[in-house]
Structure 1
Amino acid sequence: MKKGCNFLYQRSLVFASRSPALLICSRNSMVRGLSSFVSRPFPDHSPKKPSIRDSEIVQNISTTIKQRRYESLHRVLRPFEPKFRSDHLIWVLMNIRNDFKLVLDFFYWSCILREPSLEARCIVVQIAVAARDLDVAYALIRDFWSKNSLYFDGTFSKVLQKLIYTYKDWGADPYVFDVFFQVLVEFCSLDKARNMFDKLVNYGLLLTVDSCNFYLSRLLNNDGGLRMMFKNFREFSEAGICWNVVSFNIMMHTLCRMGKVREAHSLLLQMVFRGCTPDVISYSTVINGYCIAGDVQVVLKIIEEMRVQGLRPNVYTFNSIILLLCRTGKVSEAEKILEEMIYQKIYPDNVIYTTLIDGFCRVGDIDNAYRLFDEMQSHKISPDSMTYTALICGFCRSGKGGEAENLFHEMLSRGLEPDEVTYTTLIDGYCKSGEVNVAFSLHNQMIERGLVPNVVTYTALADGLCKEGEVVTANELLHTMLEKGLDLNIYTYNTLVNGLCKAGNISQAIKLMNDMETAGIRPDIYTYTTLMDSYCKSGEMVQAQELLRDMLRNGIQPTAVTFNVLIKGYCLSGMVEDGEKLLKWMLDKGIIPNVTTYNSLMKYYCIRNDMRTATEIYKAMRKRGIMPDANSFNILIQGHCKARNMKETWFLRKEMVEKGLRPASYTYHALIKGFMKRKRYNEAKEIFHEMRQQGLPLDEQLYSIFLDMNYNEGNFEMTLELCEEAVEKCLIKKTSFGKM
C-alpha cells in the first residue's frame, strides 16, 4: 500500500503519544464477498456513443499521443485544443486505458483546458488504483471533495454513484472505495462514511480493516463519537470486518480514556479468543490506564503477564509506571524502574528523565533531581525546556532562588525558549522570597518575549505584594487582571483575602469574599479558615463562630485546620471550655483532630499552671494514636518547669530525645533554670553541656551561672574555657551588632 494514501490514518492512530504508527496491511486476509445474502451486482459502464466527427477526433488524438508519447502533450495536441470537449476525454481514455502514464499525462493536459467531469475523474481514479498508484487516486478524490463538499448538496451521493458506475469496466479494484472512504474520514464526514460502508455491504464489498481503524480513531476525537464508536465496532464486526490488533488497541485506549480500565483489561484478555494476539502496545495501553487510576499492584501483574507471553515492556510502558510512582511520591521506587530499564537495554529518553527529575523536585529532594539532570546529559540526552522548568521549580520550592536563576540563564544560553510556566515558576519563587521587584522585572521580560501572563502569574505577583504589605497595590493588580479579560480563580481571591487579613483589614477581606460570590466563585475552606483566623487573633470569637455556621450552611466541611484555628482562638480569649466543647463536637462528627489541636489546649492549661489537666489531654492524645511532636514536649516541659515538677520534665526530655526530637532553645533554658531552683546542679550542668554541644544559643545569664559554679568547684580550666566562649559569643557579637 502506498504511503500517501495511508499517511493521515497512520498518524491518527498514534494515540496519546503512546502507540507508534505501525500498521500492517491485511488486505490479503480481508473478506471481499459476503456469502450470507445475494449481493447486488455492479452496473455496466455505458458511455454515450461518439458521432462520426467525434470518433475521428478521438482517434486522431489517441494515435498522436501514442506515437509522440515522449514529446510535450501541450505542443503535440495544440491543433486539437479548439475542438476538444469534455466528452472526448472519456472516449480517448477508453483507447489508452492500459497505459497509465499516458492516461495521467492526458488527464492533466485536459484539466488545463477545462474542469473534467466527475465521471472522467472517477474513471482516472479507477485506473490509478488498478495501477497501484494510490497517491494519485487519493489526491484526485481529495481535491474534488475539498472544493465541492461544502458548497454543493449531494456531492457524496454523486461521487459514490460514479465510483460504483465506473467500477466494473474501469478497474474492478475494491480499494478504490477505501480511498474515498478515507477522504470522507479525513474531512470528518463520519456519517457519510458510515452510509458508504452500508451501501458497499449491499454490493458484497467490505472495506479494509485499516480503513475501518481510521474511522474508529476519528470517532474517538469527534463530539459524541464514543457511543457511536462502540456501536460501529460491534456492527462492523457483524458485517464481516475482521478486527486486528490495531482495532483492539484503539478500543482499549478509548475505554481507558473513559476511565473504564477494567473493561479495557477484559477486552485485552478477550483478544486471543477472537483470533487476535495482543502486542506490546495492547499491554502498554492497559498498563497506562491502570497507572492513571493509580493501581500499582495490577500494573505489576500485567507486566509479569507480558513477560510470560514473550513480550518486553517498551519505553512507553516504563514511562507510565514511572509517572505513576512519581505522582504518588514513590520516587525512589520510580528510579529503580529506571535502573531495570537500563538493565534490560531499554534506554530511557528525555521524557522519562524529566518525569523523575520533576518527581524528586516535588518531594523536595533537589540533590537527587540535580544528580539525574547530570546523568541524563552524560548519556547524551539533552534536557529540554520542560526539564529545566521542573528543576527551576524544585529550586524555587527549596528557597534556592540563586540556583534557579542560574539554571534559567543556562537554559537561555542553550537556545531553549522558556514558556509561561517557566516564568511563572520563577516569579512565584521570587515573590515567596520577598524579591517582588525582581518578580515584576521577570513579568516585564516575559511580555517582551511575546508570552502572555496568565491568572497564575498574576496571583503569584499579588501574593508577593500582600506578603510585603502592599495590599492596595495587590488590589490594583486584581483590577488589571479583570481589564485584561482574565477569569479570576479562587486562588487569586484567597491570596488577596489573606493579604487583607494580615494587614488587619478584615472588613475589606469580608467585602472581597462577598465580591467573590457575586462573581460566581464560591469561597472555599481556605477562605473561611483565613477569615476565622483573623477574627480569632483579634478576639472576635462571635464573628468567627458565625463564619463556621455559614460554612456549614453552604455545605463546606471544616477540616482539622479550621477547628485548630477556632480552638486556639478560644484559648487565647480565655474560653478554654468552649475549645474543649468544640473538640468533643469534632470527635462526634468523625473529624480526626491532629497534634496541633491538642497542643493548643495543653499550652493554655500550662499557662494556667494546671498541669494535671494538661497531662490528661496529653494522655488522651496518645490514646487516640496521635503522636506528640516537638512542640508538644516543649509545651509540657516548660509547663512542668514552671510548676517545679522537675522529675516529670526529666522523663519527658528523655522520651523526647528517644523519639529523635530536639528540645527548643527556650526549653533548655527553662530546664536549666528549673533544676537550678531545685538545687539539682548535676542535671542543670548536663543540660548546659548538651546545649553547648548542639551549638544552641546561650545568654549571658547562663554563662554567668556556670562560670560561678565551675569557679567555686575549683574547675579553673573549664572556667577559663567558658569565659573565652562567653566573651566571643556574647560580648563580641553584641559589639559587632552594635556597630552594624
Structure 2
Amino acid sequence: MKRCAIFSVSCLQTILHNQCLSFASNCLPFFSYRSCLYHGLSSSSTNIRPFPDYSPKKPTIRDAEFVHHISTTIKLRRSESLRRILKSYESKFRPDHLIWIFMSIKNDYKLVLDFFDWACLRREPSLEARCIVVQIATASKDLKMVHGLIREFWEKPNLDVSLSFTNFAEKLIYTYKDWGSDPHVFDIFFQVLVETGMLNEARNFFDKLLTYGLVLSVDSCNLFLSHLSRNFDGFEMAIKVFNEYPEVGICWNTTSYNIIINSICQLGKIKEAHHLLLKMEFRGSIPDVVTYSTIISKYCHVGELQKALRLIGEMEAKGLKANPYICNSIILFLCKNGKLFEAEKVLREMMMQGVVPDNVVYTTLIDGYCKLSNVPAAYLLFDEMRVRKIIPDFVTYTAIIHGFCKAGKMTEADNIFHEMVSRGLQPDEVTYTTLIDGYCKTGEVKKAFSLHNQMARKGLVPNVVTYTALADGLCKQGEVDIAIELLQEIHSNGLQLNVCTYNSIVNGLCKSGNIVQAQKLKEKMEEVAGMHPDSFTYTTLMDAYCKIREMDKAYMLLQEMWDRGYKPTVVTFNVLMNGFCLSGMLEDGERLLEWMLEKGIMPNTTTYNSLMKLYCIRNNMRATTEIYRGMCAQGLMPDNNTYNILIKGHCKARDMKTAGFLHKEMVAKGFLLTASSYNALIKGFHKRKKFVEARELFEEMRRQGLIADREIYNLFVDMIYKEGNMEVTLDLCDEVIENCLVRSKNEDM
C-alpha cells in the first residue's frame, strides 16, 4: 500500500528555512544509535497487546426493526435524496441507530458517507461514529477524506484538547480491528496532531501504538521531526527522537537527515552537519541535492568558499546537479565580498549546465550591482529576468529602485516604481523611504514630501529613517530650521530619533556654514537626547573645519574622539589628510599617515591619493612614485582618481612617457580621464611635438563630451585651419564660443 506523501521538494525547502534557536551541547555527538530500550519498553513480542474486539451495545427488537427499515430504504432508493426519503424517520432517529446502520452498509463506502452527512445535519455524531467512518474511509483508500474528518474534529471551538485526545485515541484503537484494520489511519491521526501543534500528544500516541506492535511511517515521523525542530523547546526532543526511534523500527531516510542537518547548520554546527552527511550512506540513506545545498549554503555563509566548492564537486561526481539554492548561496557569498563579475560568471556557468535560475538568484545579483553603484549592469539583469519570464517580486523592484535612487536617476526610479504598482505589488515603508531619500538627495524635496503624504494615505507609517531622509533633504536646501522643527514635531509625537537623524542636521548645518550651531547640536545630543555622537558626527565636523582651513580644531576633534573611546574610521583620517593637503601641510599629512599605521587603521586608496596630489602640486614626482609603490605594496589597487593625479603630475614634470603609459593602463582597466587630465596630456604631447597623439586625445575628449580649455582649442583651430579643413575649423570655433565664452560669461553672472 502506498504511504501518504508528506514531503515534496518545495515543502522540504520551506522546512530548511525554519531556524532552530538553540542546541544542547550535551546532545552531541548524536549520530550513533543508542542501545538503550525505547522509554524502558522491552522489544520482546510478549509485551505486545492485541487490538480490542469491537463490542457495541445490542439493539432492542424495536430498534433492530427501525434500523432494518432505514438500511433497506437507503439501499433501494440510493439515487434519491436522503433528506426526502428519510423525512418520516427523523423524529425517531437516535445516535445509537447511526452505528447499527453503519454495520449494515459498511461495505458501501459512498452510502456510508452520504448517511453520515445526513446524520450530521441533525446532531453532532458521537466520537465512536466518527471513528468508524474514519476507519471505513481509510480501508477505502480515501486518505484525503480521513484527514478532513479528523482535522474537522480538532477545529471545534472550546475543545478540551487533553481529554479529547485521550478519547479520540481510545475510540480509534477500539474501532480499528473490526471496522478497517488499515494502519494508515494511525499515520493520519498522528499527522493531524502534529499539524495542529499537539506535539506532546503526538509523541504519547506514538508510544501508545508501540504497545500494540505498530510503528508509524517514516513520513509521519519526518513531519514530527520538522515541527519539533522549529523552536528551542522542541529541538532537544527532535534530537532525542532522531536517536531513539530507530530502536523501535523507524528507518530514517534522506528527508529525515535533511531536517536534522538543516537544524544543526542553523545553529552554526557546520562540522557536525558535514560529519552526519558522510555517515548517511553507511546507514542506507543517500544524500540528495537538498542535503548538499544545506551544508554548501552554510559554508558560504561562514565564508568557507573552498569547502563549499569541494562539496559541489563531490555532489556532481555522484550525478547530482546544483540547484538554484546552491547557485544563490555561491552568488550571495561573492556579492557580499564585492566580486560581482565572478558572481555573474557563476550564474552563466550554471545556466550552461542546465540550472534554471530563479527570482532569488537574479535579485541577489541585482542588489549586489546596485550596492556597488553599477546600475546599468543591474538593469540588464532586471531586463533579462523579464525576457526569461522570471517575474520580479517586491524585493527585486525595491533593489533596482534603490540602485537608480543611489545614482540620482529619479526618473528611472519613478518609472520602475509605477511598473511595480501596475503589476499589483504593494510598496512598503522601505520602498517609499528609498524614493523619498532619492528625491531629497537630488534636491526635489517637494516630491519627497508628496510621497510621504501618499505613504500616510496608504496607511503606511513613516519611520525614523524616512524622517531622517526628509530632514537631510531640507538641510541640503539650506532649510535647517525647518528640518529641526520637523524632527522636534515627530519627537513630540513619540517617534524615537536616532544618531543618524541628528547627524543629518549636523551635516546640514556644516554645509550651510553654521559650524558653531552644528557643534552645539553635537553637545545637545548628549545632554538632551542622551545619545552619543558617533564617528560620522565627528568626521562631519572635522570635514567642515578642514574646508575652512581650521586644522587645529579639526585635529582637536580627532583627539577628543580618540580619548572618548570612539575609534576613527579610515574616512575620518581621509578627511583630515585632505584638509592637511589642501592647507599645504605636507609634513602633518605624513605624520598622520604614520599615526594611522601605528593605531592599526589601514589607509585606503583615497588616503594615498591625497598625499600624492600634494606631492604632485609640489612637483616632487620621486616622492609621489614612492607613495604609489607603497600603496600597491599594501595590496591597494589604484582607482580612477589615482591615475588622474599621477598623469597630471607626470605631465607637469614633462615625463610624457610615464604619463602615456599610465593612460594606456587606466583605459585597459576601464577607468576614464577627467577633463583636466585630458588637457594636461594634450598640452604635454603637443609640446613634445607628438601631434598625432595629441590630436587623438583631443578627438577622444570631444567624443566623451568633455570640454577642453581655451588654449587647447586655439592650438587645434590653428592646426586644422592650416590643413585647409574649413568645415572642422568652423565647428571648433562654434565650440570655443559655446564652451569658453558663453559658459564663462554665464558663470560670471
Q: TM-score, normalised by structure 1?
A: 0.79
Structure 2 contact 54–177 (Cα < 8 Å) conserved: yes
Instruction: Quote the offset at 1:561 in angstroms.
Output: 1.9
**Which of the numbers 602, 608, 627 marks the counterpart of 1:592?**
602
Q: Distance in 1 between matches of 2:560 and 2:204?
A: 58
Report 1:437-456 matches (<5 A). Answer: 437-448=446-457, 451-456=460-465
Does the C-alpha gap of structure 1 residues 272 and 74 become closer, same or farther in structure 2, counting only changes over 3 Å? same
Partner residue, 1:15: 14
**Which of the numbers 521, 525, 530 marks the counterpart of 2:540?**
530
Q: Distance in 2 between matches of 1:337 and 1:655?
A: 34
Partner residue, 1:23: none
Instruction: Quote the offset at 1:181 in angstroms.
Output: 1.5
Q: Deviations 1:585-644 (Å, cap 9, x if unpaired)?
A: 322232222344455556678889999988887786677666777767887999999xxx
Q: Distance in 1 between matches of 2:232 and 2:736?
A: 74
Partner residue, 1:28: none
Instruction: Quote the offset at 1:275 in angstroms.
Output: 0.5
Tell me how large the CA RMSD over aligned residues is.
4.7
Does the C-alpha gap of structure 1 residues 371 and 191 become closer, same or farther in structure 2, counting only changes over 3 Å? same
Does the C-alpha gap of structure 1 residues 630 and 424 become closer, same or farther in structure 2, counting only changes over 3 Å? closer
Partner residue, 2:197: 188
Does the C-alpha gap of structure 1 residues 107 and 11 become closer, same or farther in structure 2, counting only changes over 3 Å? farther
Partner residue, 1:284: 293
Structure 1 contact 2–135 (Cα < 8 Å) conserved: no
Instruction: Quote the offset at 1:425 in angstroms.
Output: 3.6
Task: Point out where structure 1 has 5 or more consecutive residues left out of the alignment.
Answer: 20-32
Q: Distance in 2 between matches of 1:423 and 1:727?
A: 48
Q: Distance in 1 between matches of 2:687 and 2:149?
A: 102
**Which of the numbers 154, 157, 176 marks the counterpart of 1:167?**
176
Partner residue, 1:248: 257
Q: Distance in 2 between matches of 1:585 and 1:75?
A: 98
Partner residue, 1:29: none
Q: Distance in 2 between matches of 1:630 and 1:70?
A: 86
Does the C-alpha gap of structure 1 residues 458 and 724 become closer, same or farther in structure 2, counting only changes over 3 Å? same
**Which of the numbers 464, 469, 477 marks the counterpart of 2:473?**
464
Instruction: Quote the offset at 1:288 in angstroms.
Output: 3.2
Report 1:96-175 matches (<5 A). Answer: 96-147=105-156, 150-151=159-160, 153-175=162-184
Give the letter for the 1:248 counterpart: Y
Q: Which sits farther off after the overlay, 217-226 or 537-546?
A: 537-546
Q: Distance in 2 between matches of 1:570 and 1:151?
A: 78
Does the C-alpha gap of structure 1 residues 664 and 683 become closer, same or farther in structure 2, counting only changes over 3 Å? farther
Secondary structure, in 3 states, of the residue corresponding to 1:154?
A: helix
Q: Distance in 1 between matches of 2:133 and 2:575?
A: 81
Structure 1 contact 12–214 (Cα < 8 Å) conserved: no
Give the letter for the 1:181 counterpart: F
Structure 1 contact 18–316 (Cα < 8 Å) conserved: no
Instruction: Quote the offset at 1:682 in angstroms.
Output: 5.5
Partner residue, 1:583: 593
Q: Distance in 1 between matches of 2:435 and 2:563?
A: 40
Structure 2 contact 510–540 (Cα < 8 Å) conserved: yes
Structure 1 contact 630–656 (Cα < 8 Å) conserved: no
Partner residue, 2:308: 299
Report 1:624-643 matches (<5 A). Answer: none
Structure 1 contact 13–214 (Cα < 8 Å) conserved: no
Secondary structure, in 3 states, of the residue corresponding to 1:41?
A: coil
Report 1:8-87 matches (<5 A). Answer: 12-15=11-14, 35=44, 38-87=47-96
Secondary structure, in 3 states, of the residue corresponding to 1:147?
A: coil
Structure 1 contact 633–653 (Cα < 8 Å) conserved: no
Structure 1 contact 237–243 (Cα < 8 Å) conserved: yes
Structure 1 contact 532–544 (Cα < 8 Å) conserved: yes
Q: TM-score, normalised by structure 2?
A: 0.78
Q: Distance in 1 between matches of 2:592 and 2:287?
A: 59
Partner residue, 2:207: 198
Q: Deviations 1:366-420 (Å, cap 9, x if unpaired)?
A: 4444444444444455555554444443333333333334444555566665555
Partner residue, 2:36: none
Structure 2 contact 265–298 (Cα < 8 Å) conserved: yes
Partner residue, 2:403: 394
Q: Distance in 2 between matches of 1:57 and 1:732?
A: 109
Does the C-alpha gap of structure 1 residues 107 and 2 become closer, same or farther in structure 2, counting only changes over 3 Å? farther
Report 1:192-271 matches (<5 A). Answer: 192-271=201-280
Answering whether residue 568 of structure 2 is matched by residue 558 of structure 1, we say yes
**Which of the numbers 410, 431, 434 marks the counterpart of 2:443?**
434
Does the C-alpha gap of structure 1 residues 206 and 512 become closer, same or farther in structure 2, counting only changes over 3 Å? farther
Does the C-alpha gap of structure 1 residues 203 and 367 become closer, same or farther in structure 2, counting only changes over 3 Å? same
Instruction: Quote the offset at 1:298 in angstroms.
Output: 3.1
Does the C-alpha gap of structure 1 residues 504 and 243 become closer, same or farther in structure 2, counting only changes over 3 Å? same
Q: Deviations 1:321-360 (Å, cap 9, x if unpaired)?
A: 4444444443334444444444444444454444444444
Give the letter for the 2:567 counterpart: Q
**Which of the numbers 493, 509, 513 marks the counterpart of 1:500?**
509
Partner residue, 1:30: none
Q: Which sits farther off after the overlay, 392-401 or 446-455?
A: 446-455
Structure 1 contact 13–217 (Cα < 8 Å) conserved: no
Q: Deviations 1:172-218 (Å, cap 9, x if unpaired)?
A: 32222222222221111222222222222233221111111112222
Instruction: Quote the offset at 1:728 in angstroms.
Output: 4.9
Structure 2 contact 51–176 (Cα < 8 Å) conserved: yes
Q: Distance in 2 between matches of 1:691 and 1:338?
A: 38
Instruction: Quote the offset at 1:448 in angstroms.
Output: 4.6
Q: Distance in 2 between matches of 1:512 and 1:16?
A: 50
Structure 2 contact 441–473 (Cα < 8 Å) conserved: yes
Give the letter for the 2:742 counterpart: S
Structure 1 contact 290–298 (Cα < 8 Å) conserved: yes
Instruction: Quote the offset at 1:129 in angstroms.
Output: 2.0
Does the C-alpha gap of structure 1 residues 450 and 719 become closer, same or farther in structure 2, counting only changes over 3 Å? same
Q: Distance in 1 between matches of 2:640 and 2:80?
A: 96
Q: Distance in 1 between matches of 2:646 and 2:411?
A: 40
Partner residue, 1:474: 483
Q: Which sits farther off after the overlay, 329-338 or 651-660?
A: 651-660
Q: Distance in 2 between matches of 1:384 and 1:668?
A: 44
Structure 1 contact 283–302 (Cα < 8 Å) conserved: yes
Q: Deviations 1:277-321 (Å, cap 9, x if unpaired)?
A: 223333333333334344443333333323322223344443444
Give the letter for the 2:339 counterpart: K
Q: Distance in 2 between matches of 1:163 and 1:37?
A: 23
Task: Point out where structure 2 has 5 or more consecutive residues left out of the alignment.
Answer: 19-41
Q: Which sits farther off after the overlay, 215-224 or 451-460?
A: 451-460
Q: Distance in 2 between matches of 1:556 and 1:271?
A: 50
Percent identity among equivalent residues? 56
**Which of the numbers 319, 326, 341 marks the counterpart of 1:310?**
319
Structure 2 contact 83–118 (Cα < 8 Å) conserved: yes
Secondary structure, in 3 states, of the residue corresponding to 1:472?
A: helix
Partner residue, 1:736: 742
Q: Deviations 1:637-695 (Å, cap 9, x if unpaired)?
A: 99999xxxx8687787567547538887668989999x9xxxx9768999997985646
Structure 1 contact 672–688 (Cα < 8 Å) conserved: yes
